[in-house]
Amino acid sequence: MYISREDKEFLIQELSVELHAKLDGGRKNLIVPVCPYCGHTGGKFGIYVGPETAKKKLFMGHCFSCGHTTTDVNQLLDDIGRSDLRIEETASFGPVAVPQFFTLDEDEIDDELNIVEMPEGWKRCYKNPYLKSRGFSFDDYEFFPVGTTRGLNFKFDDYVVFPIIDNGDIVGYISRHTWDKQRIDEYNTQARLNGKYEIRRYNNSGCKEGENDFVKLLYNYDAIVEDETDTVIICEGVFDVIALTRKLDLYENHRIAAVATFGKKISDAQIYKLQAKGVRTVIIGYDGDAVGSINAAAQKLNEYFDTYIAFIEDPTQDFDSMDFWDIYDVFSTNLKTPIEYGLNVVQL
């Protein structure tokens, strides 16, 4: 059954009042203090209000005491004596109608995410010499949590570690060594000679059992506000997202958000995540040297969104290295459609 976003919000409100229910920490479930089926107290009855998945339907209810499950919202409403709130099948199609989900086979997309532990000793910081050298501002620390393991975990000495947050949950992390490439290379040459461990520039989650594959994640996903954010700029990495947000002052801008795909590729799962929040327009902001990858991503995205490419003429530049006016120029005069990009850039 299709439930419009207005209906969803309204029903959450009504159910909260009717059943004295409260949203849980992740805002994915309404916790009902007294089960309407068995009367058991202690918040054993939950109603799912998170994003729909193959297994989880909106407003499905389950009691962990009596085991009663309802999968149909109207059944639940009848059962609690609020048939007046029943969702009519046809009346709830808004002008936007159903998003383009049907173009992707929902069952094939596994978007279930596990919660991931940050490295031992990790603590958020609001000051860091390395991040300062990369232009971090007060707002950046506020909006983009980052921390270190403060010398308590040798595997992460000299790394800055950014949690990847999805619907309020930590679902991964990006860990970047604070030395520059040259210093790491020099160190590793010595380390190889002496049989010591080499330093990796990145030391990310995803290696341990139960940690999510990065193809299922988007950095800064929660900055996309469902049905408010129309346009998403797709970057390669964490530092691109933060630099772009800072330089274009997007912190509080709910119309436009920047996210990262952790490389120059976009997966079906990532596309689905953007669709699920009602995004309509995407701008690919991958580094200028990535012509082939940009073209491939553009073809793929163009099936689902109005797609543009932020064409950065200088292939050595990216959002992190460009200043406000360079970036402004790209967005004001150098947005290309996939066809224009194909004709003008790919064939150069």
- Chosen residue from 12, 23, 34, 66 binding Zn ion by CB under 5 A: 66
Find, among 217, 29, 23, the residue nearest to 113 by Cα.
217
Residue 79 near Zn ion by CB under 5 A: no
Containing 176, the helix (H) or strand (E) segment is strand 169-177
Residue 33 near Zn ion by CB under 5 A: no
Only segment of 28-36, 74-82, 85-93, 195-203 that touches Zn ion (CB under 5 A): 28-36
Residue 148 beta carbon to Zn ion: minimum distance, rounded to whole angstroms? 46
Question: Residue 212 carries which DSSP code?
Answer: P
Residue 197 token pair: 């461990």
Residue 5 beta carbon to Zn ion: minimum distance, rounded to whole angstroms? 29
- Chosen residue from 37, 162, 214, 319 binding Zn ion by CB under 5 A: 37
Q: What is the rounded CA–CA span in Å between residue 348 and residue 333?
A: 19
Only segment of 61-69, 98-106, 195-203, 281-289 that touches Zn ion (CB under 5 A): 61-69
Residue 59 beta carbon to Zn ion: minimum distance, rounded to whole angstroms? 17
Q: 3-state SS of 249-271?
A: CCCCCCCEEEEECCCCCCCHHHH
Q: Quick one: 71 or 334, whose CB is closer to Zn ion?
A: 71
Residue 137 near Zn ion by CB under 5 A: no
Residue 30 beta carbon to Zn ion: minimum distance, rounded to whole angstroms? 15
Only segment of 34-42, 95-103, 140-148, 152-160 that touches Zn ion (CB under 5 A): 34-42
Q: Quick one: 45 or 214, whose CB is closer to Zn ion?
A: 45
Q: What is the rounded CA–CA span in Å between residue 87 and residue 74?
A: 7
Residue 80 near Zn ion by CB under 5 A: no
Q: What is the largest CA-CA distance in the chain?
A: 76
Q: Point out which residues pair with 123 in neighbouring strands.
A: 148
Task: Say which amino acid occupies 284.
Answer: I
Find, among 212, 260, 210, the residue nearest to 111 by Cα.
212
Positions that interact with Zn ion (CB under 5 A) = 35, 37-38, 40, 63, 65-66
